[in-house]
């Protein structure tokens, strides 16, 4: 029964949560060891997966993502080493306050509990997310892509094997659980009393499906419709180079530029060189009527404004005012990352304050919206939700906090009513 399996994860997680950082690092080292030792089994499993995928006619780029050779395995193990060096995000004191003599309150980070991770295709995601969950003390329920079934199973067995070998008293290998069927995922989405957070990774449709079918909080993003707004005070060369990078550096990802908004006064100056640079990179341009009067482009329809192309296509709209640009972003954007190109610092500040997106950028490429580039260490995901975590999320997205109150017999009656003793509410220095 799935419920029983996940209940076992919940139970094992309670023990995992109480491990010291060095104990968790021992487990992580063990996982890397077992993966290297069992590499022949891993390679055999992925060969079998690739064979089946070819038989079933899977597209070649997807098949490539299934591959797991020595080079990739070494990369995976280096990833585990990186997680070992990351600081344990739990037991960090967020605030500390004396309420009265001998009555001390600490707000302290702790694991969230059980994370549900559903990902498509690439099997390396399994090891990466398992390492992050282990280091942050969270239990994990995983479901990988059907195409990588055999590889995922071996990777999962290696992780459980490492936990068994390191033999930390009371810790069960059941802190991690692998699901293999779609039906199990459907049933997992109903376990909102056992699973605390879902992290889906895959296509927009896939993430949207998860978001629409569960009551469990979801960390993720469906769309990434990123905008740049070229204000009339923009530097032309800077505008061209930032737009080209944002659109072309890697168009298939969520932080790539999809819609360009251009101030009416600067459009005749900036659009011709920009269009030339983009065409050189093979970008198809779709503009509104005014744009089409300045540069050659096909006609953008209403639908273009709300489309994430993930391809070498750019929609362009000319706006008369700053407010019109902001309104366009709020109407059609996805709250992922939106930027302004201007040399007017005050206007940039206004843009960054008014635009309600996870990332608001000034004079740089939207492509910087990324956990690695932000310097967050490993990236758990990118969230366009506003609650819990927003934008690129590092391992701190896997912790919550609890309130610890240390007393010496205090009762609330002492402090009640107009004659009650006042609280001291003195901040305790935690540095």
- Interactions with a second copy, residue window 12-41 (CB under 8 A): 14, 17-18
Contacts of 248 (CB under 8 A, 6+ apart): 278, 281, 283, 312
Contacts of 125 (CB under 8 A, 6+ apart): 117, 119, 144, 201
DSSP states along 168-213 = -TT--GGGEEEE-SHHHHHHHTT-TTT--EEEEES-HHHHHHHHHT
Q: How far is the CB of 93 from a second copy (least distance, A)?
A: 13
Instruction: Name which position in 75, 276, 407, 430 contacts a second copy (CB under 8 A).
Output: 407
Give whichever of 252 and 411 is closer to a second copy, judged by the CB atom.
411
Instruction: Name which position in 205, 409, 418, 422 contacts a second copy (CB under 8 A).
Output: 409
Residue whose pair of structure tokens reads 């329809």 in the numeric block: 301
> Rule CB under 8 A: which of 315-334 touch a second copy?
326, 330
Report if residue 402 touches a second copy, rule: CB under 8 A: yes
Q: Are 158 and 133 in contact (CB under 8 A)?
A: no
> Rule CB under 8 A: which of 89-118 touch a second copy?
97, 99, 103, 105, 110, 112-113
How many CB atoms are located within 10 Å of the residue 168 CB?
17
53/62 Cα distance (integer angstroms): 9
Give whichever of 122 and 247 is closer to a second copy, judged by the CB atom.
247
Q: How far is the CB of 8 from a second copy (least distance, A)?
A: 14
Kindly tell me the burial class for residue 82, based on how many C-beta atoms sit within 10 Å of its own C-beta (0-12, 13-18, 19 or more): middle
Report if residue 406 touches a second copy, rule: CB under 8 A: yes
Q: How far is the CB of 360 from a second copy (least distance, A)?
A: 6
Q: How far is the CB of 365 from a second copy (least distance, A)?
A: 5
The maximal CA–CA distance of the chain, rounded, in angstroms, is 81
60/50 Cα distance (integer angstroms): 10
DSSP run (H or E) holding 81:
helix 70-85
142/185 Cα distance (integer angstroms): 9
Give whichever of 114 and 176 is closer to a second copy, judged by the CB atom.
114
Give whichever of 293 and 425 is closer to a second copy, judged by the CB atom.
425
Give whichever of 264 and 425 is closer to a second copy, judged by the CB atom.
425
Report if residue 72 touches a second copy, rule: CB under 8 A: no
Site size for a second copy (CB under 8 A): 72
Q: How far is the CB of 315 from a second copy (least distance, A)?
A: 21
Give whichever of 174 and 196 is closer to a second copy, judged by the CB atom.
196
Tell which residue, 83, 195, 173, has the closest CA to residue 128: 83
Q: Are 101 and 424 in contact (CB under 8 A)?
A: yes
Q: How far is the CB of 91 from a second copy (least distance, A)?
A: 8
- Map residue 341 onto helix, strand or coil: strand
Report if residue 74 touches a second copy, rule: CB under 8 A: no
Give whichever of 57 and 417 is closer to a second copy, judged by the CB atom.
417
Q: Are 52 and 165 in contact (CB under 8 A)?
A: no
Report if residue 423 touches a second copy, rule: CB under 8 A: yes
> Rule CB under 8 A: which of 240-299 touch a second copy?
241-242, 244-246, 249-250
> Rule CB under 8 A: which of 173-202 touch a second copy?
196-197
105/425 Cα distance (integer angstroms): 10
Q: Are 335 and 226 in contact (CB under 8 A)?
A: no
Give whichever of 127 and 244 is closer to a second copy, judged by the CB atom.
244
Give whichever of 272 and 407 is closer to a second copy, judged by the CB atom.
407
> Rule CB under 8 A: which of 339-368 touch a second copy?
339, 348, 350, 352-354, 356-365, 367-368
Q: How far is the CB of 62 from a second copy (least distance, A)?
A: 24
Q: How far is the CB of 329 from a second copy (least distance, A)?
A: 11
311/425 Cα distance (integer angstroms): 56
Give whichever of 18 and 298 is closer to a second copy, judged by the CB atom.
18
> Rule CB under 8 A: which of 371-390 touch a second copy?
373-375, 385-388, 390
Instruction: Name which position in 403, 421, 428, 430 contacts a second copy (CB under 8 A).
Output: 403
Q: Are 115 and 130 in contact (CB under 8 A)?
A: no
| Range 379-391 burial, b when 16+ CB lie within 10 A, else e | bbbbbbeeeebbb
Give whichever of 41 and 388 is closer to a second copy, judged by the CB atom.
388
């Amino acid at each position: 029964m799935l419920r029983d399996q996940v209940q076992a994860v919940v139970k094992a997680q309670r023990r995992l949560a109480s491990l010291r950082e060095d104990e968790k690092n021992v487990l992580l080292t063990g996982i890397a060891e077992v993966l290297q030792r069992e590499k022949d089994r891993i390679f055999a499993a992925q060969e079998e997966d690739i064979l089946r995928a070819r038989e079933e006619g899977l597209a070649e780029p997807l098949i490539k993502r299934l591959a797991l050779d020595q080079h990739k395995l070494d990369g995976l193990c280096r990833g585990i080493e990186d997680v070992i060096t990351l600081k344990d995000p739990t037991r960090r004191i967020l605030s500390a306050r004396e309420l009265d003599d001998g009555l001390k309150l600490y707000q302290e980070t702790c694991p969230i509990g059980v994370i549900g991770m559903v990902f498509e295709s690439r099997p390396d995601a399994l090891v990466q997310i398992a390492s992050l969950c282990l280091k942050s003390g969270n239990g994990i329920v995983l479901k990988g892509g059907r195409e990588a079934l055999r590889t995922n199973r071996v990777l999962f067995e290696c992780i459980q094997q490492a936990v068994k070998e390191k033999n930390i008293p009371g810790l069960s290998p059941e802190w991690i659980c692998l699901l293999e069927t779609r039906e199990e995922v459907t049933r997992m989405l109903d376990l909102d009393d056992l699973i605390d957070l879902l992290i889906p990774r895959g296509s927009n449709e896939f993430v949207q499906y998860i978001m629409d079918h569960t009551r469990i909080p979801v960390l993720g993003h469906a769309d990434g419709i990123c905008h740049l707004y070229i204000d009339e005070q923009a530097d032309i060369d800077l505008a061209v180079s930032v737009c080209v990078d944002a659109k072309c550096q890697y168009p298939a990802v969520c932080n790539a530029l999809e819609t360009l908004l251009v101030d009416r006064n600067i459009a005749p100056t900036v659009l011709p060189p920009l269009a030339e640079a983009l065409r050189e990179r093979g970008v198809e341009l779709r503009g509104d009527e005014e744009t089409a009067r300045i540069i050659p482009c096909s006609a953008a329809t209403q639908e273009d404004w709300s489309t994430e192309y993930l391809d070498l296509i750019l929609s362009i709209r000319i706006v008369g005012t700053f407010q019109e640009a902001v309104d366009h972003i709020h109407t059609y954007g996805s709250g992922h990352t939106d930027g302004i190109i201007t040399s007017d610092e005050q206007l940039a500040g206004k843009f960054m304050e008014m635009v309600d997106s996870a990332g608001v950028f000034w004079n740089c490429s939207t492509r910087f919206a990324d956990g690695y580039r932000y310097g967050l260490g490993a990236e758990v995901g990118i969230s366009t939700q506003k609650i819990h975590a927003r934008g690129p999320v590092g391992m701190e997205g896997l912790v919550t906090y609890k309130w610890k109150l240390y007393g010496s017999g205090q009762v609330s009656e002492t402090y009640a009513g107009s004659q009650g003793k006042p609280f001291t509410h003195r901040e305790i220095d935690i540095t």
